[in-house]
Chains A and B, each alone.
Chain A
Amino acid sequence: MSALKDKVASVMEEPACAKNQGKDGKERKKGCGKALTPGAAAGGCAFDGAKISLQPITDVAHLVHGPIACEGNSWDNRNTPSSGPSLFRTGFTTDMGELDVIYGGEKKLFRAIREVIEKYDPPAVFVYQTCVPAMIGDDIEAVCKAAREKFGKPVIPVNIPGFVGSKNLGAKLAGEALLDYVIGTVEPETTTPYDIAVIAEYNVAGDFWAVKPLLDALGIRVLANISGDARYNDIACAHRARAAMMVCSKAMINVARKLEERYAIPYFEGSFYGISDTSEALRQIAKLLVNKGAPEELLVRTEALIAREEARVWAQIEPYRVALKGKKVLLFTGGVKSWSVVSALQEAGMEVVGTSMRKSTQEDRERVIEIMGTDAHMFDELPPREMYRMLKASEADIMLSGPRSQFVALKAKTPWLDVNQERHHAYAGYAGFVTLVQEIHKSISNPVWEQVKRPAPWERDGKDEGIRMKDEENRPQDAAPHPSSLILHP
């Protein structure tokens, strides 16, 4: 447990994290996980964050050590597709029972690892710690070590029980597990001056596939994507990349920094959302590679590609820009990447009337202010009640968010688009941006909004008898009306 504490402390003091730099020593120790308010908290646990970050590694077995809750309630619920192996979508858990809690779960965990290896023979097994076994003192690092020796295969402990903190902290700690156990353990067969690593891009809905053809066209090789559509071996080779791109503004910043520190891999922070951010990312990648010795002509080719692709996207979205001009968007990406999406939406001619900054760093905030010209539309917290009011009052034409707030928007009869992990469309790169614009347009222009807003026949005279009346009619004559079935709208 104390090793875990040290890890947590070290990650929380992450020097490359802009948010941390603004804090004094004491504050910094408290780290990025704000103390939660009991009864008024939201968000996933550190285990959740670790799983989100590592699960996209497609060919390994992800084994969760704990009672059924942690895996049973959450497996196979993220849309990060694979171009090959599908083992990552198989849910493995020790499903601890009462006896395991009383006598300890280490033996069961060891047997579970054996079963997984015998049945599925993956290149590696990732073992995730959760709260109950952490409480009773199951030492997963020792079990993984024993299993590594016994089975001659990488068995990676991901010692991040949920209760150590937030999802974000979990993502960072997952990065530490990769640094400690995976990255640098395998040498690539060949290397080129065009090899890069991409960090914290999970290939949600195939996002990365919308970007990869651009890199391919430039002859840039993604040696390791951490971790969308990844193979174990690629990540183990990541230390041989010439340059790295850090995609998400906060998760896994520690990985980027340590790759630089340990292996002299320079990195930049960028995004693939929107036209200008995509172009900027390509430029940065090319620049870093050239700095590290790639031929300079790469810069010229990159500019040529950007010019060609930008012209193409603008032409493709032109028909929608008229329809979307001035449309008001409420954006809740959970903070991460919001600056990037804000600028993308503005490129399409829309106006962002509100965005959540709950999980954002100071740097993110400044970027949003810079893009929007004001901080008037940034919310730290937008309670569902207020969100509902805004949407009902038509203060936004569409909301872009994750599924948790999806039904706040739909109940307010307002167009909604999924921009989180469960979405079904890739929005990254130039092609993804076109899709995003098309999807927004499709949603806003759907005739269903007008249909569902029509008053019911019995509302036309101004009195809403609603369901009340219908129920009374259907009731048998001599039965007294039943209180609970009558009133749906108190």
Chain B
Amino acid sequence: MATLTPHKKACTVNPLKMSAPIGAALAYLGVDRAMPVLHGSQGCTAFGLVVYVRHFKETIPLQTTAMNEVSTILGGLENIEQAVDNIYKRAKPALLGLASTGLTETKGDDVAGYLKLMRDKHPEWEGMEVVYASTPDYVGSLETGWAAAVAAMVERLADPSSERLPTQVNILANCHLTPGDIEEIRDIVESFNLQPIILPDLSGSLDGHIPETFVPHTLGGTKVEEIRAMGRSCHTLVIGESMGGAAEALKAKTGVDYTLFDRLTGLEASDAFIQRLMDLTGHPATRKLKKQRSQLQDAMLDGHFYFGGVKAAIGAEPDLLYALGSFLTEMGAEIEAAVTTVESPVLEKLIAKELLVGDLEDLEQRAAHCGLLVTHSHGRQAAERLGIPFHRAGIPLFDRLGAAHQVTVGYRGTKELVFELGNLLWSNAHEPHPDDWRLDHENTQTIARH
């Protein structure tokens, strides 16, 4: 158990953290026919866009209310109206996902109240849902912003119902699950004859499919009608501690109870998930799952040699840090330093020698004597300077192919991770050298003199 050291420096050096508004935007991108809009100046949107284009290698719909100095001081509500109306006219998305930024929050526009008025003024917007999440840049991180947007979506869209469909479940996914992870989770859940409604579902929108025509909004993802129907599900499966708030919001609105899984990476974590699905449905696990479990066991046995005793330094958002850190610990590695972006209760459970809110400078300083560095692509400079094996995980991954298709959940995903990290550690393993066992110089001389 590690205690979290808060951030002390005035100057963050090599940021680990990204901002909440772009986290919210990403969550909206997991909805079918959606258009995320940042209420702020154009630059915030431009940066966010580049981050996701490079990470997913896809075109990304993302708009801005285009605030400037004057409109910010006067208040940006008019810009919101214009933006929503322009987008309605040009793209007619099913969902327009708004997120505030530091700029507009500093001014303190009452966006939620204003949107209510706007809906009355624009009856033609009927058919386009507008959801708003408050995400000032100076609070939280990408993970926080994503969670806020999901909570906003279920609060606004999920319909309460007394009906419970015995085969329909909700899945609330955190921001670290890749499209590949989502696909894997869907397969697992469907193998219990359940129909999952997954929110957000990046596996529909950002999975790299090649559409027939070009559309100005997302194509694929959770449908708005499905979000409405979440109130009729028999249960909600929540992936990641950061989604606790959204799960509570859904429960408060619809009464659907939930189970929270703080991670899905690792044998034990996957067992807990499968166990819950068995209990919920009364169905046994399929032959395929059983086989995957035994393959994972085997991979862990084959792989543990390379992990045992390895000192690792990890920099990641809380949920991902917990998932990867726990996995490494379970494989026999030791977490020398864990650096994260914001405080989170899930980290109380992490086993690490040192745990702090910080940046990649903090991580680099602590990784000097480690045998493994894990963080997002911005760790590349540190890895180069330190010359230690580097595994990329998190957002952004801009210098690797296939970020969307990395799978690290469930038995199969964990097995993939054992192989990937195991191979990385193996190829960097120390080869014996004649000098390895040299006695230290002074001692040798002392003995020779006698």
Q: List A residues at the B interface (Cβ < 8 Å).
A: 35-48, 63, 66-77, 86, 89-98, 100-101, 108-109, 111-116, 119, 131-132, 134-136, 161-166, 384-385, 387-389, 403-408, 411, 413, 422, 467, 475-476, 478-480, 482-485, 488-490
Contacts and interface: CB of A to CB of B under 8 A. Distances in A.
A45 B46 contact: yes
A478 B283 CA distance: 13
Given A68-B137, A94-B12, A115-B9, A384 B214 contact: yes
Given A111-B11, A407-B53, A484 B223 contact: yes
Contact of A483 (B87, B212, B226): B226
A252 B138 CA distance: 32
B216 to A, nearest CB: 7
Contacts of B83: 38-39
Contacts of B209: 467, 488
Nearest to B46: A44
Interface string B24-48: 0000000010000100111111111
Contacts of B58: 407
Contacts of B106: 101, 132, 135-136
B204 interface: yes
Contacts of B141: 68
A119 B13 CA distance: 11
B264 interface: no
B102 A93 contact: no
A469 to B, nearest CB: 15
Interface string B369-406: 00000000010010000000000000000100000000
Given A39-B87, A69-B19, A479 B11 contact: no
9 contacts: A39-B65, A69-B137, A71-B15, A115-B11, A134-B69, A163-B103, A406-B53, A407-B57, A482-B196
Given A89-B381, A92-B11, A41 B102 contact: no
B447 interface: no
A36 B138 contact: no
B79 A482 contact: no
A405 B60 CA distance: 10
Nearest to B220: A488
A47 B378 contact: no
A427 B395 CA distance: 31
For the side of the interface on B, what is the size category?
35 or more
A97 B214 contact: no
A252 B302 CA distance: 60
A314 B83 CA distance: 51
Contacts of A115: 9-11
Contact of B66 (A36, A70, A91, A161): A36
Nearest to B191: A476
A109 B9 CA distance: 11
Given A45-B46, A69-B101, A488-B204, A112 B11 contact: yes
A111 B195 CA distance: 55
A91 B53 contact: no
A101 B101 CA distance: 13
B69 A164 contact: yes
B18 A73 contact: yes
B10 A112 contact: yes
Nearest to B89: A39
B167 interface: yes
Interface string B184-221: 00100011011111100100100001111111100111
Given A74-B51, A98-B138, A479-B167, 11 more contacts: A36-B42, A41-B66, A66-B102, A74-B50, A92-B12, A132-B137, A134-B69, A482-B190, A484-B197, A484-B221, A484-B226
Given A111-B10, A408-B214, A479 B66 contact: no
- Give the residue among A67, A94, A482 with the most B Cβ atoms within 10 A: A67
Contacts of B195: 479-480, 482
Nearest to B377: A76
B49 interface: yes
Interface of B: 7, 9-15, 17-19, 21-22, 32, 37, 40-51, 53-54, 57-59, 63-69, 72, 79-80, 82-87, 90, 101-103, 106-107, 136-139, 141, 167, 186, 190-191, 193-198, 201, 204, 209-216, 219-223, 226, 378, 381, 398
Given A37-B82, A479-B195, A131 B223 contact: no
Given A69-B21, A404-B49, A163 B67 contact: yes
Contact of B43 (A45, A404, A490): A45
- Give the residue among A69, A111, A135, A488 with the most B Cβ atoms within 10 A: A69
B15 A404 contact: no
Contacts of B381: 76, 86, 89-90
Nearest to A405: B59
B201 A484 contact: yes
Contacts of A46: 43
Given A67-B102, A98-B139, A135 B15 contact: no
Nearest to B212: A489
Contact of A135 (B12, B107, B201): B107
Contacts of B21: 69
A41 B190 contact: no
A429 B250 CA distance: 60
Nearest to A38: B83
A404 B53 contact: yes
Nearest to A404: B53
Contact of A95 (B12, B82, B86): B12
- Give the residue among A89, A163, A387, A406 with the most B Cβ atoms within 10 A: A163
B197 to A, nearest CB: 8
A471 B15 CA distance: 41
A46 to B, nearest CB: 8
- Give the residue among B18, B41, B106 with the most A Cβ atoms within 10 A: B41
Contacts of B37: 39
Nearest to A48: B43
Contacts of A100: 138
Contacts of A76: 378, 381
A135 B82 contact: no
Nearest to A63: B11
Contacts of B42: 36, 41-45, 162, 166
Nearest to A112: B11
Nearest to A467: B209
Nearest to A86: B381
Given A44-B47, A115-B10, A77 B41 contact: no
